[in-house]
């Protein structure tokens, strides 16, 4: 028997992660039927993604595809509004055009939101109704997922925890404000602080130095954790989520920044409803897994419309 399957694509600057999974209505994450990476098509992105989709879905009955994109997406129309990393996609009607080429419904979504939905549904937030996910890297992306759906505000721009001001009169931020959380714990800020203190290497080297009790690393990392804790106290007061999931390059194993931040929040909280602050579980595949989740929803909706 041919299996009904959905395909999730997570399109990055240099490679596309793909993940094929059986159609399911279960709450459990479906196992991958196939999973891998392919180079991001350089020339004609729609034709390139169509070819990839055909190749990895040979032998299954494909019901739906979702494509996660690093940029601003008009989810309703399936268009890419703007992608800094993939300018070839700018303004492209990716959803409808890819759907025409491969003959199944295609949904387009932002990659950070895809990862947040994946963590909320099948990752560190599984089983909790109200999940706030942070991704710490060069920038800081936040997304609030309630009942599996991103709560994104009146203009789709809620969740910008990276641009909450932590240090009034602090360093200038790329956004034009001073003292945003990103000016303290964004990867470039940590890199600068570490280098100014005489440290060598990337933030990962700094975290390793922290584990070896290097006093310079301890000071920078503790300050980062306290700044993140300040922002999280504001988040608890305003949004009151049920769990906070922290992922991204700066929060990966050994998760030191996450555990220090959780301790700092617990120590400073007063009236706040303190919730678990936990590391993300799905790692670098979260975007592709979130695209699979989105494709499952799309397949279920299409089936209902037909029935």
Residue count, binding to a copy of itself (CB under 8 A): 39
Q: Does 263 bind a copy of itself (CB under 8 A)?
A: no
**Which segment (52-60, 74-82, 254-262, 268-276) binds a copy of itself by CB under 8 A?**
268-276
Looking at 268, 297, 302, 303, which residue binds a copy of itself (CB under 8 A)? 268
Residue given tokens 């003959």 in the structure block: 103
CB contact at 8 A, 280 and 247: yes
Beta carbon nearer to a copy of itself, 5 or 161? 161
* 250 to 26, 59, 89, 134, 169: CA distances (angstroms): 32, 39, 28, 11, 25
> Least CB distance from residue 172 to a copy of itself, whole Å?
11
**Segments in 146-271 forming alpha helices (H):** 181-185, 187-196, 203-211, 215-238, 256-268
Beta carbon nearer to a copy of itself, 38 or 146? 146
Q: Quick one: DSSP state of residue 27?
A: S
Beta bridge partners of 141: 135
Residue given tokens 């804790």 in the structure block: 229
> Least CB distance from residue 157 to a copy of itself, whole Å?
5
Beta carbon nearer to a copy of itself, 35 or 152? 152
Q: Peptide bond preceding 254: is omega within 30 degrees of 0, i.e. cis?
A: yes
Beta carbon nearer to a copy of itself, 211 or 240? 240
Looking at 66, 235, 277, 288, which residue binds a copy of itself (CB under 8 A)? 235
Binding to a copy of itself by CB under 8 A, coded x per residue (else -) over 136-175, reads ------x--------xxxxxxxxxxx-xxxxxx------x
Looking at 149, 171, 215, 237, which residue binds a copy of itself (CB under 8 A)? 237
Looking at 42, 212, 213, 238, which residue binds a copy of itself (CB under 8 A)? 238
Q: At what angle do helices 203-211 and 187-196 cross, to 10 degrees?
A: 60
Count of residues making up the chain: 307
**Which segment (53-61, 86-94, 106-114, 234-242) binds a copy of itself by CB under 8 A?**
234-242
Q: Does 76 bind a copy of itself (CB under 8 A)?
A: no
The per-residue b/e assignment along 284-304, b for 16 or more CB within 10 angstroms, e otherwise, is ebbbbbbbbbbbbbbbbeeee
Of 70, 144, 61, 47, nearest to 104 by C-alpha is 61
88, two tokens: 């070839």
Beta carbon nearer to a copy of itself, 229 or 298? 229
Phi, psi at 145, each rounded to 5°: -115, 120
Looking at 101, 208, 233, 300, which residue binds a copy of itself (CB under 8 A)? 233
Looking at 234, 259, 297, 302, which residue binds a copy of itself (CB under 8 A)? 234
Q: Does 275 bind a copy of itself (CB under 8 A)?
A: yes
Q: At what angle do helices 203-211 and 256-268 cross, to 10 degrees?
A: 70
Euclidean distance between CA atoms 117 and 288, whole angstroms:
11
> Least CB distance from residue 45 to a copy of itself, whole Å?
27
Of 252, 277, 253, 251, nearest to 263 by C-alpha is 277
Q: Which of residues 9-38 bind a copy of itself (CB under 8 A)?
A: none
Q: Which of residues 106-135 bind a copy of itself (CB under 8 A)?
A: 128-130
User: Contact residues for a copy of itself (CB under 8 A)?
Assistant: 128-130, 142, 151-161, 163-168, 175-177, 230, 233-235, 237-242, 268, 270-271, 273, 275
């Amino acid at each position: 028997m041919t299996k009904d399957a959905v395909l999730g694509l997570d399109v990055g600057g240099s490679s596309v992660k793909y993940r094929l999974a059986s159609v399911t209505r279960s709450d459990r994450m479906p196992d991958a039927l196939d999973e891998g990476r392919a180079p991001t098509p350089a020339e004609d992105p729609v034709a390139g993604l169509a070819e990839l989709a055909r190749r990895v879905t040979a032998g299954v009955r494909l019901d739906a595809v979702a494509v996660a994109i690093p940029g601003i997406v008009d989810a309703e129309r399936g268009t890419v509004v703007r992608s800094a990393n993939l300018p070839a996609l700018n303004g492209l009607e990716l959803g409808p055009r890819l759907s025409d080429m491969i003959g199944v419904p295609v949904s387009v979504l932002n990659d950070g939101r895809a990862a947040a939905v994946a963590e909320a549904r099948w990752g560190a937030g599984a089983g909790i109704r109200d999940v706030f996910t942070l991704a710490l890297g060069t920038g800081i992306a936040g997304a609030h997922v309630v009942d599996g759906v991103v709560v994104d505000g009146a203009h789709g721009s809620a969740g910008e925890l990276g641009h909450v001001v932590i240090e009034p009169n602090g360093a200038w931020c790329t956004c034009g404000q001073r003292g945003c959380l990103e000016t303290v714990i964004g990867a470039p800020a940590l890199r600068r602080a570490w280098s100014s203190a005489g440290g060598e290497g990337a933030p990962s080297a700094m975290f390793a130095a922290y584990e070896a009790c290097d006093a310079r690393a301890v000071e920078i990392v503790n300050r980062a954790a306290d700044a993140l804790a300040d922002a999280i106290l504001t988040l608890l007061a305003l949004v009151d989520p049920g769990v906070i999931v922290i992922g991204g390059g700066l929060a990966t194993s050994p998760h030191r920044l996450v555990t220090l931040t959780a301790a700092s929040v617990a120590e400073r909280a007063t009236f706040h409803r303190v919730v678990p602050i936990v590391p993300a579980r799905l790692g670098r595949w979260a975007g592709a897994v979130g695209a699979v989740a989105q494709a499952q929803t799309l397949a279920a909706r299409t089936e209902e419309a037909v029935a």
